Amino acid sequence: MTLMLASVQNRNEAEIVLQAGADIIDLKDPLRGALGAADIPQITDVVDFVSGRRPVSAACGELGGDLQALRARVEEVAATGVDFIKIGFLPSSRIGADAQALADIAGRKRLIAVVFADHRYEENVMTSFAKAGFYGVMLDTDDKSKGRLLDHIPPDRISDFVAQGQRHGLMTGVAGSLEAPDIPRLLPGKPDFLGFRGALCEGLSRNADLDAEATAKIRALIPGERPAEKTPSVDLELLAARGYFPDAAEDNLGTDQIFVRDFVLPVDIGAYSFEHGKKQKVRFDVTADVLRLTRDPKDMHHIVSYDLIMDGIRAIVSRGHVDLVETLAEQAAAFILENPRVARVVVRVEKLELGPGGVGVQIERKRESARLSKPLRVVAAKAEGGRKVV
């Protein structure tokens, strides 16, 4: 189950996100930067207002140089009664030592270490945070003017970050100017939470006021706990991972085709020895027949995103050398058909640097009809495994 973390500046905004169903209410002052610390009275006010209905977290700024000042700040924030305290770690050769210097606080408060996708870290930070007893780790962006998280790191590497954090027993979250179309691309990696500020605000501007309608739209894209009903339970995590959302479906609407055309990537491919050790351009063209859910598609709930197809192909290509275009085509088709709303897929894979024009293969694969999933109503979420969760 992936939770929604919503960053707010004050009690009014906390009320909006609480009503919209955010799972974690996160205090920060966006004008002071990615992890801008809110003033203590604001934090206390929100903790009082929320009064245990949701976990509250608060940003504490970034650890630059002055460890003692940061420790004092963390203690001050801890005294407000927040559930989580977020601390930013900029790249430095001292991350391990600094994390360790916070271990005594981590023993009594849930600390979340935040690292930034727009910086490069040399050491294995995950091990340092886990060793120091941190509760969680989060990937965010530092400079909000330089693009979204997915502009810095592709989804498969974000999934690796999440898997690594969770292997270390850390609650692992992801943020960074995320927008609605990013959500189905990130859910397959099963982060423990997705964090938002800009997407919840007027005009997607994180320094503007929070907007109730924008917040509700984002909330609706992250499958959440639902009250038990009589219908059999469905694995919500799996549905989310496939970019499949459990809206009530209109019957007999047939299928639509989504496509990705002229998607060219450098690929390590070829059976000849001269093709090894260098990449060549390969073009992918994909058409997928997807089950139509509604006559009135309005948002990401109702569609299968072509981004998922491109993300999948990028991830397959990044696994390393393959000899045959047929292998790539089969892998891409199999990945796309994992989405229960896809009935049929045509994948064309063309090497662009070998022949006079393109050379390659086109395959068509269908889902066995029994496996084509009609929308189901979701009634329960799968229980979490041994990891720490809120």
Ligand X SMILES: O=C[C@H](O)COP(=O)(O)O
Residues at the contact surface with ligand X, assessed by CB under 6 A: 5, 7, 26, 28, 140, 144, 175-178, 195-199, 206
Examine the residue annotation and report whether 217 is marked as an active-site residue of this protein: no
Instruction: For the CB of residue 187, give the shortest distance to ligand X in the complex, in Å.
Output: 16
Please say whether the beta carbons of 89 and 62 come within 8 A: yes
Q: Say how far apart CA 208 and CA 201 lie, in whole Å.
A: 6
Query: Residue 330 corresponds to which tokens in the numbers above?
Result: 């089969």
Q: How far is the CB of 6 from ligand X (least distance, A)?
A: 8
Task: Please report how close the Cβ of residue 141 comes to ligand X at its closest, in angstroms.
Answer: 6
Please state, in angstroms and rounded to a whole number, the distance separating the CA atoms of residues 378 and 129: 36
Q: In Å, what is the CA distance from 151 to each residue of 147, 173, 347?
A: 6, 17, 26
Please identify, using beta-carbon distances, which residue of 22 and 106 lies nearer to ligand X: 22
CB 213 within 8 A of CB 274: no
Whose structure tokens read 């919500």?
Answer: 236
Residue 371 token pair: 């496996």
Token pair of 152 as six digits: 């810095």
The backbone region for 190, taken as left when phi is positive above 0, alpha when psi lies in -120 to 50, beta otherwise, is: left
**Least separation in angstroms between CB 123 and ligand X:** 23
- Residue 310 φ/ψ, nearest 5 degrees: -65, -40
Q: Cα separation of 117 and 159, whole Å? A: 13
Q: How do strand 136-140 and strand 110-116 relate by DSSP bridges?
A: parallel
| Minimal distance, residue 175 CB to ligand X, in Å | 4
Yes or no: say if 228 and 307 are a contact pair by the CB < 8 Å rule.
Answer: no
Query: What is the nearest approach in angstroms of ligand X to the Cβ of residue 201?
Result: 8
**What's the rounded Cα separation, in Å, for the pair 227 and 77?**
34
Beta strands in 268-372 (DSSP E): 280-291, 342-351, 359-366
Sign (positive or negative) of CA dihedral 328, 334, 337, 339: negative
Residue closer to ligand X, measured from CB, 150 or 328 = 150
Q: Which residues pair with 345 in a beta bridge?
A: 288, 365
Spell out the residues 6+ positions from residue 25 whose beta carbon is closer than 8 angstroms to its own.
5, 6, 8, 14, 17, 18, 46, 50, 54, 55, 56, 57
Name which of 42 and 177 has its Cβ closer to ligand X: 177
- Of 7 and 331, nearer to ligand X (C-beta) is 7
The answer to whether 28 is a known catalytic residue is yes
| Nearest CB to ligand X, comparing residues 164 and 207 | 207
CB of 166 to ligand X, least distance (A): 18
Number of alpha carbons in the 13 Å side-chain half-sphere of residue 332: 33
d(CA 268, CA 313): 13
Q: Closest approach of Cβ 34 to ligand X, in Å?
A: 7
Strands 110-116 and 84-89: parallel
Nearer to ligand X, 209 or 338 (CB): 209
Q: Which one from 86, 109, 144, 351 is the annotated catalytic residue?
A: 86
Q: Nearer to ligand X by C-beta: 58 or 303?
A: 58
Q: Which is nearer to ligand X, 5 or 381 (CB)?
A: 5
Report the catalytic residues.
28, 86
